[in-house]
Amino acid sequence: PRLANQIAAGEVVERPASVVKELIENCLDAGATRIDIDIEQGGVKLIRVRDNGRGIGKDDLPLALARHATSKVYSLDELEALNSLGFRGEALASVASVSRLTLTSKPAAQDTAWQVSAQGRDMAVDLTPAAHTDGTSVEVRDLFFNTPARRKFLRTEKTEFNHLEEVVKRQALARFDVGFSLSHNGRTIHALRPAATPAEQQRRIAQLLNPDFMNNALVIETERAGLTMTGWVGLPTFSRSSADMQYFFVNGRVVRDKVIAHAVKQAYRDVLYNGRHACFVLYLELDNAAVDVNVHPTKHEVRFRDQRLVHDFLFSQLHRALAEYRPDGQSL
C-alpha cells in the first residue's frame, strides 16, 4: 500500500512553484549543467524551463507526457535504491492536464529537435520538427486555464513568484555544479554560473540570500562516524528581515525535517538565547543507505535510519562550533 500511495501521490500541481519544482528536478535527472527559467505573470501565464541535459528521443516524446510513463518504478526495494528525483512518472502528465504544455527536445545523437504539445486533457500526439539545441525545453502556458476553481486559489502575481523563486533558490543552493538563470516578465532576477570553488559558492549564497549573511556567519566543517556537515550558520550579528532563512540539504537534496530542525534549534538555544531564529545553510552528507529519501512524493522529507545518531551529531557539532565562537563565555 505504501508503494501504491507513493505512486498515486495525487496532485503535484498546486501552484506555479510546484510546476517549477518538478521541471527543475527533471532537468537535474537528465544531467543538466545549465537550467534557464523564464516566467511571466508569476508563472500563471508562462513557465519555460530549458536545460542542456541528455534530452528525450523523438519516439519517447509522446510517452513523456503519458501518465506513469516512467519505466523506473518496479518495487519498493528499487524505489528505495533509486537516486533520481523523479519516480512517479506523472508530473508532466499532471501539468499537461491543467495547462497548454509544449515539450521540445533534442538528444545530442539526434540531428534535429522534435516537439509535442498537449492542451488540457487533449493530448496531441503528432510530432513536429522544431529548432532546439541539445537538451529539453518545457513550456507551460495558462496554468489552470481549464480548472477555474484551482485558478481561484492562486494568490497575487508577486506572491506566486516569491514561492517560485524560493524553489529556484533552494535548488541553486543544493546544486552549485549547475548554472541557473531566472527571469520574470523579461527581467533577470538571478544569473548564476556553476560555482566550483568555495569563493564562488559563497558568492552564490550571498547573491541568493543576503550579502550580509556571509559576513556574519560561522563556517561549519565537521565530520564524525561517516557523517559530514558543512555550511554556514548565522551569528547574532546578522540581522535579517525574514525569519525564514533555514536551508538544509541532505546528500545534495533540499530537505525539511523535524529531527534536523530540532537539533539546530536546540544548539542555538543552548549557546545563544531563547527565541532567536536560527539562520543557516547546511549540508549533511551521509551514506545513501542511512537515509530514506522517498518518504513523501514531494521529497522534502527524509527518514534517517538512525534518527538519534543524526540528531546528536548535528546538535553536538553545532553546539561546539557556536560555543567555540565565544570561548570567554561572554554573552553575544
- Residue 30: which of ligand ADP, Mg ion, none does it interact with, CB under 5 to 8 A by kind? ligand ADP
Interface pick for Mg ion out of 26, 94, 97, 317 (rule CB under 5 A): 26
**In the complex, least distance from residue 26 CB atom to Mg ion, rounded to whole angstroms:** 4
Q: Can you tell me the distance from the alpha carbon of 36 to that of 168, in angstroms, rounded to the nearest whole number?
A: 10
Q: Can you tell me the distance from the alpha carbon of 159 to that of 323, in angstroms, rounded to the nearest whole number?
A: 38
Q: Please, which residue, 35 or 302, has the CB nearer to ligand ADP?
A: 35
Sign of CA pseudo-dihedral 51, 57, 63, 67: negative
**In the complex, least distance from residue 99 CB atom to ligand ADP, rounded to whole angstroms:** 13
Closest listed residue to residue 5, CA positions, set 297, 253, 256 = 297
What is the Cβ-side half-sphere exposure of residue 285, based on CA atoms within 13 angstroms?
10
CA 168, distance to chain mean position in Å, is 7
What is the Cβ-side half-sphere exposure of residue 329, based on CA atoms within 13 angstroms?
0
Q: Which of residues 73-92 bind ligand ADP (CB under 6 A)?
A: 86-92
**In the complex, least distance from residue 295 CB atom to ligand ADP, rounded to whole angstroms:** 16
Are 236 and 332 spatial neighbours (Cβ–Cβ below 8 Å)? yes
272 binding Mg ion? (CB under 5 A): no
- Residue 151: which of Mg ion, ligand ADP, none does it interact with, CB under 5 to 8 A by kind? none
Written as nine digits, the cell of 119 is 492542451
Site string for ligand ADP, 10-39 (x = CB under 6 A): ------------x---xx-xx---------
**In the complex, least distance from residue 208 CB atom to Mg ion, rounded to whole angstroms:** 23
Interface pick for Mg ion out of 91, 172, 286, 322 (rule CB under 5 A): 91
Q: Please, which residue, 21 or 311, has the CB nearer to ligand ADP?
A: 21
Cβ-Cβ contacts under 8 Å for 189 (sequence gap 6 or more): 165, 182, 183
Site for ligand ADP, rule CB under 6 A: 22, 26-27, 29-30, 51, 53-56, 64, 69-70, 72, 86-93, 136
Site for Mg ion, rule CB under 5 A: 26, 86, 91
